[in-house]
Chains A and B, each alone.
Chain A
Amino acid sequence: MIRLQDVTRVYSTGETAVHALAGVNLDIGGGEFVAIMGQSGSGKSTLMNIIGLLDRPSSGGYAFGGRDVSQLSEDARARLRGSAFGFVFQSYNLLPRMTALEQVELPLIYQGAADRKRRAAQALVRVGLKDRITHLPTELSGGEQQRVAIARSLVVNPLVLLADEPTGALDTATEHELMTLLSELVDQQGLTVVLVTHEAEVAAYARRTVRMRDGRIVEDSGAPLVAAAPDGPAR
């Protein structure tokens, strides 16, 4: 589903060029649960941004679902991003003064989708927030806010969920609940999850671990046989 070939990403900050990614090759199949690990500055977040079409590679190829997406226009990337990817960040990135339901409705507004309220409510039920639908972010715990963020990324039925340190701000018990939820989404609904973290305990929930250092992949536990499903949408 995701195929990166010799991807580099160079940031030029004044005179010096920073090689955030220095030639990455990575294949991720549908229904995989991959953890990308590494120190700060290892390039793992850059990699995630490129996978999620938030950023473009400086060189190299990126095929998503068998289609070259490295040359897409800004608007085409925005549309594909909105329909195929869900994002979850350490900071929950909820908008203030919006109820949980409204937060989850947001991607549907930009898709021009019908039946928004019902679909948003369903997504909130899926992440176990049936009783928090009309709550504002300030009225929710950290774990609950992150669930709202997950519901928001799931509401468009994405193929891939990208999670960047999703439990970084949570206590251990909540972390466990959340990671269990992600595992269930992979197992029961065939979602592909790419998790960026620097904590081994969090990475342990994933089925495959990719280690990065200095913009390169230094270790890849490889796709388990069970998840080596053929490419293509798993919806």
Chain B
Amino acid sequence: MSPLDAFRIALRAIFANRLRSALTSLGLIIGVSSVIVLIAVGQGTQRGVTDQIRGLGTDLIFIESSAEATTSQTGALAGLEQSTLVQGDAAAIAADGIPGVVAVAARVAVDAQAVAGANNVGAQIVSTSSGYAEVRDLAIRSGSFITPLHDEDGALVAVLGARVADTLYEGLDPIGQEVRLSFVGGRITLGFVVIGVLEEQGGASEANDQVFVPLSGTAGRLRFLYTPAGDLRVTQIDVQTASGADEQRVKEDVTELLLLLHETPEPDFVIQSQDDLISAATEVSNTLSILLGSIAGISLLVGGIGVMNIMLVSVTERTREIGIRRAVGATAGDIVKQFVTEALTLSLFGGIVGIAIGVGTSFALDGRELGGQEMTTLIQPWSIAMAFLVAAGVGFASGSYPAYRATTVDPIAALRNE
């Protein structure tokens, strides 16, 4: 029997039971498409996170207090009180002449309530200096960022993140308006003059929900920011390195300097380059991808079992057909060929439709909002190839055993079977 004849016989059997064939394929369609979609989502998320980290700026090294690093953003105040990083550290790093260091910006981030007229919004208040916009690549929509002059004079001015401005002023020009920032659960409230609004930042950038104020202006008015020794606590120090500089070397030099300043043998801070963050995030999202892929893989396996189940039922039901075919000259090999071809055709049909649906769904999901987060999907050619091969393998495997069972059908009994 030629392969074409085997294929014709398979198609005939598949079309004779359209609903059953469709439902059988459905298991594989769901399995294959979910493998492709979930891997695309996993890889897309990875791309999104890496882009977000790259979006923080270029060639950055972040130093955070160990205490701060273990505290959530909303509990920043509690963490701040334990922070061992002080403004003097930033100044020392800038003044030490470590090769490769271009700029240093310290910041204090605290959660606060921003109020303007009848509107209010929760925002993270970032107290920093004029260099921060450059270090973090922040573009201005209107007005200006904190200027070196503000660093000196301790003025109470504020630059609003795009979403904060839109919520508080609802499209009106906020420049020159007053925004009141309320810290520590309302115990301290200060009024600031808005001098600038940032461009909407791409992706899930935190800058959209932040308010930037000069460290010099707030520091004198917020007593809790000071250590008992009179140093100004900060939550984070950003160090920008020259492009092409050896970041690892800079990290080591900065670490050495800070250990000296803090008079401690073990670091009480965490120092990470953007590359460190990216590889940490990649590791997390790879784990996520594997997890999602495994779940989808299980559904693919279940789909394959479905195909085998139907083929087994089919062999039992078609005992008579098998007997007739044997009686008119079909060898055991012909019968095996017939059932394997049938299972393979069903599986490959399921695989191809599954790939089409998986790729289509991945495209449709790309850029959609899901739970406030923008989804990014990245279709992986290897996931398509893998899904296709698995579908083919499933077809072959799930056809083989029922096909073998079919050859054990006794033609005599089959033919007498009325």
Contacts and interface: CB of A to CB of B under 8 A. Distances in A.
Nearest to A77: B331
Contacts of B326: 78
B19 interface: no
Contacts of B334: 110
Given A54-B411, A54-B412, A97-B12, A110 B330 contact: yes
Interface string B397-417: 000000000000001100110
Contact of A107 (B323, B329, B411, B415): B329
Interface stretch (A80-88, A186-194, A198-206): A80-88
B327 to A, nearest CB: 5
Contacts, number: 63
A2 B333 CA distance: 28
A95 B321 CA distance: 6
A72 interface: no
A17 to B, nearest CB: 18
Interface residues of A, number: 28
B103 interface: no
A81 B332 contact: no
Contact of B327 (A75, A87, A109, A111): A87
Given A54-B411, A109-B5, A79 B329 contact: yes
A112 B1 contact: yes
Interface in A11-52: 49
A110 B331 contact: yes
A112 to B, nearest CB: 7
**B-side interface size class:** 20 to 34
A78 B16 contact: no
Contacts of B266: none
Interface of B: 1-2, 5, 12, 16, 320-321, 323-334, 411-412, 415-416, 418
Nearest to A76: B331
Interface string A90-125: 010111111000000011011110000000000000
Contacts of B330: 78, 82, 110
Enumerate the 4 nearest inter-chain pairs by beta-carbon distance, A residue then B residue, closest first: A82-B329, A110-B329, A107-B328, A78-B331
A156 B325 CA distance: 14
Given A54-B411, A95-B321, A109-B1, 11 more contacts: A49-B412, A75-B332, A79-B331, A89-B415, A91-B418, A93-B323, A97-B16, A98-B12, A106-B324, A106-B328, A109-B5
Contact of B329 (A49, A78, A91, A97): A78
Nearest to A83: B329
A171 interface: no
A81 B327 contact: yes
B324 A95 contact: yes
The residue among B328, B411, B415, B418 with the most chain A CB atoms within 10 A of its own CB is: B328
A106 B325 CA distance: 8
A136 to B, nearest CB: 12
A152 interface: yes
A139 interface: no
A55 B418 CA distance: 19
Contact of B324 (A74, A78, A93): A93
A81 B329 contact: yes
Given A97-B12, A97-B16, A109-B1, A78 B321 contact: no
A148 B230 CA distance: 107
Contacts of A89: 415-416
B327 A74 contact: no
A79 B331 CA distance: 7
Contacts of B321: 95
Contacts of A82: 328-330
A106 B330 CA distance: 9
A91 B411 CA distance: 14
B332 A93 contact: no
Nearest to B411: A54
B329 A75 contact: no
Contacts of A91: 415, 418
Nearest to A86: B328
B329 A111 contact: yes
22 contacts: A49-B412, A54-B411, A54-B412, A74-B331, A75-B331, A78-B329, A78-B330, A78-B332, A81-B329, A83-B329, A87-B327, A93-B323, A97-B12, A98-B12, A106-B324, A106-B325, A107-B328, A109-B1, A109-B5, A110-B328, A110-B329, A112-B1
